[in-house]
Amino acid sequence: MALDIVLWPDPVLNTPTQPVTDFGPSLTTLLDDMLEACKKAEGIGIAANQVGVPLRLAWVGREDGSFFEIINPQILERSGNVVYDEGCLSVPGEWEKVKRFEKVKVRYQDRTQAWHEVEAEGKLAHVFQHEIDHLDGKVFVHHLSQLKRDLIRRKMEKEKRYRREE
């Protein structure tokens, strides 16, 4: 089943998610449905609260176009600085420069509950930070000035009205 992507601003996107404790079959279904929604929207990552589910899990896209799930992720180390043009499935059509760490070391679980630790840099590090921000209740617009954020908020409110009328 394809899930709808929640548009910012929405309370579910501004609230920190809860750790995943149930690794049963419903988790697999949720992961599959999230990946389908992400690919359909041509995203390079998706967090559970973007489909309205307040749990600490996300999909992260690699540069080769493949995806892997991250469950209960934590950033262990951060270093360097880099600025990227950043967009988000929950803020369609908006791209802004955002300052991020160049490298991150992340610990996360997969659906079998196994823990992984990876060091990422470049685009992958950027996607990790973007998705983990979502899980902490933050959207990339929180890194922008108040002025830009208000401008984007007005555009998104218009977009929501438009989608409702469709």
- Applying CB under 5 A, the residues found at the interface with Zn ion are 88
User: Minimum Å distance from CB 1 to Zn ion?
Assistant: 21
The smaller minimum CB distance to Zn ion, of residues 88 and 98, is found at 88
Distance, in Å, from the CA atom of 166 to the CA atom of 18, rounded to the nearest integer, reads: 33
The smaller minimum CB distance to Zn ion, of residues 27 and 139, is found at 139
The smaller minimum CB distance to Zn ion, of residues 88 and 132, is found at 88
User: Minimum Å distance from CB 90 to Zn ion?
Assistant: 5
Distance, in Å, from the CA atom of 3 to the CA atom of 65, rounded to the nearest integer, reads: 21
Report the 10 Å Cβ neighbour count for 68. 13
Report the half-sphere exposure of 61 (CA within 13 A, side-chain side).
16
User: Minimum Å distance from CB 34 to Zn ion?
Assistant: 12
Query: What residue has token string 């892997």?
Result: 68
Annotated catalytic residue 166: no
Catalytic residue among 69, 86, 96, 131: 131
Helix spans in the chain (H): 25-40, 122-135, 146-165
Q: Catalytic residues, which ones?
A: 131
